[in-house]
Amino acid sequence: MLVSLPISPKALADYEVFVGADNILDIRELAGEMAGSSVLHVNATAYGGGVAEMLYTLVPLMQDAGLRADWKVIQGNDEFFSVTKIMHNCLQGMDIPITTNMKQIYEHQVLANAKMMDGEYDYVVVHDPQPAALPHFLGEARRKIGKKWIWRCHLDLTEFSVELWEYLLPFIQQYDGVIFTSGHYAGEYEDRMPPITVITPCIDPLSPKNTPLDHQTVTRTLRKYGIDPERPLITQVSRYDPWKDPLGVIDAYRIVKKEIPDAQLLLAASMATDDPESWHYYEKTARHAGEDSDIFLLSNLQGVGNLEVNAFQRGSDVVVQKSIQEGFGLTVTEALWKERPVIGGKVGGIVLQIEDGVNGHLVDSSQACAESILKVLKDKKGAVRMGAAGRDTVRERFLSTVNLKGYLELFRGLDVAKEQHERKKAVHEQH
């Protein structure tokens, strides 16, 4: 059976200082309508990505709001996760054929996980493609385990593979609702899908990655990894992944270095269990970096955790997220919250966060990225203004309480829709 993950408790009241008492009251009243309802979240990994980070906050906040929330992670071998990584890439635009053998590997493993599912829940939220076929393989047991099923897709679907989407669509059509980060992601398939809700990911201002750090802690952490806190620092925090374009970031840094010779570049990542490709791309990034002693490639393998990432972002003069595709980009949110100007790719969920020239810059090439970095580094007063604007953006739109409220409104909407459907059915039967 799939095992529930242990979760540390969190209290909604602790977030009042960030979002105000009225927002907390609204959430309490909304949750009160569903008090005692049970919720299960299912995803592919307990660490190493934005989905897991959000669930470590969302699940305990649901519990504090009065719901019986749970979180379980599916099981899979390297072969399965290699296939789902290809699916991930295809949904973000790569043109890779999905073979019969790949489909068999995927379906065999999801079926095995379906057989391990138990319990009874009012709502089951399935995150991303890896476990997406669970309702299908549960068959008649689907409604016993979950009265309502919701698929939450965190990917940028603006250029998805039609072949893969057509394969996945019958699985997705068995859900009662779908959550996307942007309303643009469904495209022409919207009419063939369950009702769509838009909920943007959010960060936890009380997590170790986002809580305030004193200057001494920041500088000590930088020095621990050989980074000079007195010199300009450009940082990107992301998986080693072609969609995050670390090679393009290195190219931009090299352009910057011609004008600012003492600039440093830090690429920091967490190697996730469901992303075997990251090892290959780390090696590719390392070869591209060459012997430049001012380029630092770090990961959890060197002891980089949430505290270190927090210090890296706060110790940076500019944060980069030069993605080619990006479902949302929580690292953008994190850096904006820490009052750092962010240079982001003009794609996906990044454009929902960065207002060009206000709290950062949107770019579509290494050259444009370098030019924007130079602007920030040369205009320190402007960088301070951008940083302040970025924190305001996150406070208003991208903190954990917003994420929680979005889910509660979705659950309530599904219940209202069900009640309306049952009333119409009863009236029809009477006639």
> Which value, to the nearest 10 degrees, does the dihedral of the CA atoms of residues 351, 157, 44, 413 take?
80
Structure tokens at 39: 């919720």
Query: What is the distance between the alpha carbons of residues 286 and 307, in angstroms, rounded to a whole number?
Result: 24
Q: Hey, how many other C-beta atoms are within 10 angstroms of the C-beta on 192? A: 12
Q: Which of 338, 364, 339 is nearest to 350 (CA)?
A: 364
**Which amino acid, residue 408?**
L
Confirm if 92 and 160 have CB atoms less than 8 A apart: yes
Residue 427's Cβ-count burial label (10 Å; 0-12, 13-18, 19+) is exposed
Q: Which of 150, 98, 100, 95 is nearest to 124 (CA)?
A: 150
Alpha helices (runs of H) in 146-301, residue ranges in sequence order: 162-172, 215-224, 246-259, 277-289
Structure tokens at 292: 């430049």
In this prediction, residue 421 carries a pLDDT of 47
Q: pTM for the whole thing?
A: 0.90
CA distances from 64 to 27, 29, 36 (A): 11, 13, 11
Go through the domains of the chain in sequence order and give each one's CATH number: 12-202+400-430 (3.40.50.2000), 215-397 (3.40.50.2000)
| Farthest-apart Cα atoms in the chain, separation | 81
In this prediction, residue 419 carries a pLDDT of 60
- Residues (pLDDT < 50) of the chain are 421
